[in-house]
Amino acid sequence: DQQVKQNSPSLSVQEGRISILNCDYTNSMFDYFLWYKKYPAEGPTFLISISSIKDKNEDGRFTVFLNKSAKHLSLHIVPSQPGDSAVYFCAALNTGTASKLTFGTGTRLQVTL
Amino acid sequence: GAGVSQSPRYKVAKRGQDVALRCDPISGHVSLFWYQQALGQGPEFLTYFQNEAQLDKSGLPSDRFFAERPEGSVSTLKIQRTQQEDSAVYLCASSPPVGLGEKLFFGSGTQLSVL
Asked if residue B44 lies in contact with residue B91, where contact means CB atoms within 8 angstroms, the answer is no
Query: What average pLDDT does this structure show over A85-92?
Result: 97
Whether the bond into B70 is cis, omega within 30 of 0: no
Query: What average pLDDT does this structure show over B53-78?
Result: 95
Q: Taking CB atoms and an 8 Å cutoff, what residues of chain B touch A32? A: 100-101
Q: How do residues B4-48 score in pLDDT, each as one tens digit?
A: 999 999 999 999 999 999 999 999 899 999 999 999 999 999 999
Q: Taking CB atoms and an 8 Å cutoff, what residues of chain B touch A49? A: 100-102
Per-residue pLDDT band for A98 (boundaries 50, 70, 90) equals low
Per-residue pLDDT band for A100 (boundaries 50, 70, 90) equals confident
Could you give the CA distance from residue A99 to residue B49 in angstroms, rounded to a whole number? 9
Asked if residue B36 lies in contact with residue B79, where contact means CB atoms within 8 angstroms, the answer is no
Neighbours of A90 (CB within 10 A): 28
**CB-nearest partner of A106 from B42, B44, B59:** B42
* Segments of B1-115 assigned E as strands: 5-7, 10-13, 19-24, 31-37, 44-50, 53-56, 65-68, 75-79, 88-95, 105-106, 110-114
**∠ CA A38-B46-A109 to the nearest 5 degrees?**
20
Asked if residue B67 lies in contact with residue B59, where contact means CB atoms within 8 angstroms, the answer is no
**CB-nearest partner of A42 from B43, B55, B108:** B108
Closest to A112 in 3D by CA, of A9, A8, A10, A16: A16
Q: How far is A26 from chain B (nearest CA, A)?
A: 16
Binary contact (B33, A100; C-beta < 8 A): yes
Q: Which of residues 75-114 of B touch A (CB under 8 A)?
A: 91, 93, 100-109
**CB-nearest partner of A43 from B40, B48, B91:** B91
Binary contact (A32, B100; C-beta < 8 A): yes
pLDDT at B78: 98
